[in-house]
Structure 1
Amino acid sequence: MVKATILGAAGGIGQPLSLLLRLNKKIDELSLYDIVNTVGVSADLSHIPTPQLIKGYVPKDKSDNETIKIALQGSDIVIIPAGIPRKPGMTRDDLFKINAGIVKSLIHQVGINCPNAFICIISNPVNSTVPIAVEELKKLGVYNPKKVFGITTLDNLRLEQFLSDSLNNKVSTTDLYNDVLTIGGHSGDSIVPVINSWNKNFNDNESYDKLINRVQFGGDEVVKAKDGKGSATLSMATAAYRFVDNLLDAIKFNKIIKEVAFVKIDELETFKLPFFITKHTQYFSLPITIDQEGIKLVEFPGYLTEKEVLMTKHAVEKVKVDVSKGFNFVHGSKL
């Protein structure tokens, strides 16, 4: 039996993600929690015929911790998309001020009620919210570095699609799924697209730079296209689903899977990580191997071009600052 819980299930990411997970046969029980509307979302999804048990939970008031306790108990996976979406002119720093408190309070409940669950954090800014989660779990004495993930999969989806676009769709995104990835962080130029042998297809720096910029700032493109009335919700839900679906193979079937996520690298087994990363930051998004117990290994991509190395070094400095913000939010002191 596998139970998955979504905290923030009635939001712009939470609802489509709930729909996708409702259709996933690997999940036996789906628990939906949010401060509003979750009972309705659950009722709607319950009309889709699957053998899965589904229930929505809404707290009675701000002091009600019993409802989230029931929602979380027995969870194998907790997915957290809770928080406000990014609006026009809003930076990820602006997001941090609001979403940091939301993530901290939710993680506190996760640590108390299902400390052994795999925790997938979507709430932005991931570069800071993951350290918040880690430090809060440490305060509770239940932190497991193998089971906390910042979901950066949307950067990979964008790279696959945008690179296919740049190649005039001569290469399918399915082929690119196994050959390209993003590392670094999950905001702006902390994102480092690694396109391996596909570099040879770019005969000028302008088209390559355009691709890199579009991957790094794809979120801005969606916010602008939605005219300030939304952000990247459907694509983010799809990205989160891809990660969770793979994670379920490890949890339910004990398969060894490969993924990419933003994790605390200094407390995990690593392979060939450059000194310039390990010296300056405790967190980074990198390829990981996962089994039923969690993260087995964190690796560095086999080959980077000179430009990709420079972008990675820049990303290290950006991530370091963002991590400090998250750490300071929990502890009120500098790293």
Structure 2
Amino acid sequence: MFQRFLRFTMKCQNPAKKFSTATQNNFKVCVIGSAGGIGQPLCLLLKQELMITYLNLYDIAKVNPGVNVDLSHVNTTPIVQAFTGCNVVVITAGMPRKPGMSREDLFGANAAVVYGFACAVACFSPCALVAIVTNPLNSMVPVFSEVLMRCGCYDPCKIFGVTTLDLVRASTFAGQISCADPSYLDIPVIGGHAGKTIVPLLSQSRPPLPSMTQEDIQKLTVRIQEAGTEVVKAKAGEGSATLSMAFAAARFVRSLLKGLSGEPVIECAYVRSCATDAAYFANPLVLGRYGIERNLGYGKLNAYEGKQLQEAVPILVKNIEDGVKYVIQKADIKPPTKCEPPKPPSKTKG
């Protein structure tokens, strides 16, 4: 059985990993939080991306100018410069998760950060696609969205919560169990990006996973849901998932750029949605020139996955309400007076 499965994986490849030489290579990407644990490795990965011409780094840390200089010495195409008129903005800034830290503690620390950068994006890059990495993601995406709504430049097709790490972990852990190359596994993960709101759809794996007992399925599901805690404990409280998150964020940004260049890509992300009672929800999307081209929903679930989804939605609803209430309670949002929409990328001469 495993031999047949392995032969099949060689014929299948995650569509988000395919490379096309026809894509444009003149996009401007900004990483906010570029000096952090996720920001630095993410910038290094993006500095190697051929579709990026300008890579803009922003961080309040004193070391950030050094990160700019350090990265500018790498002999690849993207030019390191300042933040304005970007095609894609990636927000990694904020406090990382620490042992014993409650969700409320993390929310209180990071909501103000995301709130402030939402105002900046509204002013300087209102037409950009925005990829939010900052946790707790289930609440940060609503915070960012509510600010842009009040600034008059909100487009639900352009705001994404990056849940790609859940997909990366799902394929990695499933690959370990099935002895398959995880880079050839495509397992949708829906819901949110914390604990029980993470719902891996193992039944929809492409290629299909070998038969597993219900106990094995439950163990794998819980490991995917608690993988962040696994990293925090392994680092003895000295950090959270940074390298794997940078890898996942780089993959998602690459998919956004491919979509912008006219090559549709399917990726999961946490976005404004009508799929459930939760106003924001993660599931597979078709990414294109204007962000979300089509929401693919989540398809047919088995009984176990359906139960997981039922448990996830009420938690998501509460997380989203927290984000919305935070913005409502702040009365200092003013629509930007000057905005600089990014110029559309020029056509590549062939």
Deviation at 1:281, TM superposition (A): 1.4
Deviation at 1:184, TM superposition (A): 0.2
Identity, in percent, stands at 40
Counterpart of 2:134 in 1: which secondary structure? coil
Give the corresponding residue for 2:66. 40
Counterpart of 2:110 in 1: which secondary structure? helix
| 2:52–2:77 Cα contact (<8 Å) kept | no
- Counterpart selection for 1:53 from 79, 91, 96: 79
For 2:271 and 2:110, how far apart are their aligned partners in 1?
Answer: 19
Deviation at 1:206, TM superposition (A): 2.4
Give the corresponding residue for 2:16. none
| 1:152–1:262 Cα contact (<8 Å) kept | yes
For 1:157 and 1:89, how far apart are their aligned partners in 2?
Answer: 25
| 2:255–2:287 Cα contact (<8 Å) kept | no
For 1:101 and 1:158, how far apart are their aligned partners in 2?
Answer: 29
Give the corresponding residue for 2:194. 187
Does structure 1 residue 229 correspond to structure 2 residue 238? yes
By relative contact order (CA 8 Å, sep 6+), the higher-ranking structure is 2
Give the corresponding residue for 1:29. 54
For 1:217 and 1:124, how far apart are their aligned partners in 2?
Answer: 15
Does structure 1 residue 314 correspond to structure 2 residue 278? no
Give the corresponding residue for 1:16. 41
| 1:129–1:326 Cα contact (<8 Å) kept | yes
Does structure 1 residue 290 correspond to structure 2 residue 298? no
| 1:9–1:81 Cα contact (<8 Å) kept | yes
Deviation at 1:303, TM superposition (A): 2.4
**TM-score, length basis structure 1:** 0.87
For 1:138 and 1:300, how far apart are their aligned partners in 2?
Answer: 24
Deviation at 1:53, TM superposition (A): 1.0
Give the corresponding residue for 1:258. 266
1:243-289 deviation digits (Å, cap 9, x = unpaired)? 001111111x21111110000014xxxxxx4xxx1xx2111001111
Give the corresponding residue for 1:129. 140
For 2:232 and 2:173, how far apart are their aligned partners in 1?
Answer: 17
| 1:287–1:300 Cα contact (<8 Å) kept | yes
| 1:93–1:125 Cα contact (<8 Å) kept | no
| 2:99–2:237 Cα contact (<8 Å) kept | yes
Counterpart of 1:201 in 2: which secondary structure? coil
| 1:196–1:303 Cα contact (<8 Å) kept | no
- Counterpart selection for 2:320 from 302, 320, 323: 323
| 2:256–2:291 Cα contact (<8 Å) kept | no
| 1:31–1:72 Cα contact (<8 Å) kept | yes
| 1:92–1:124 Cα contact (<8 Å) kept | no
For 1:125 and 1:2, how far apart are their aligned partners in 2?
Answer: 28
Give the corresponding residue for 1:80. 91
Deviation at 1:200, TM superposition (A): 5.4
For 1:261 and 1:30, how far apart are their aligned partners in 2?
Answer: 23
Moved more, 124-133 or 305-314: 305-314
| 1:289–1:298 Cα contact (<8 Å) kept | yes
- Counterpart selection for 2:130 from 110, 119, 129: 119
Aligned length: 301
1:110-136 deviation digits (Å, cap 9, x = unpaired)? 011110000000000110000000000
Counterpart of 1:145 in 2: which secondary structure? coil
Deviation at 1:93, TM superposition (A): 2.6
1:117-162 deviation digits (Å, cap 9, x = unpaired)? 0000000011000000000000100001110000000000110001
| 1:72–1:110 Cα contact (<8 Å) kept | no
For 1:248 and 1:137, how far apart are their aligned partners in 2?
Answer: 22
Deviation at 1:175, TM superposition (A): 2.4
CA RMSD across the alignment: 1.3
Amino acid at match of 2:289: Q
1:220-264 deviation digits (Å, cap 9, x = unpaired)? 00000000000000000000001001111111x211111100000
Counterpart of 1:183 in 2: which secondary structure? strand
- Structure 2: which 5+ residue stretches go unaligned? 1-25, 331-350
Decide which structure has greater helix share. Answer: 1
Moved more, 7-16 or 206-215: 206-215
**TM-score, length basis structure 2:** 0.84
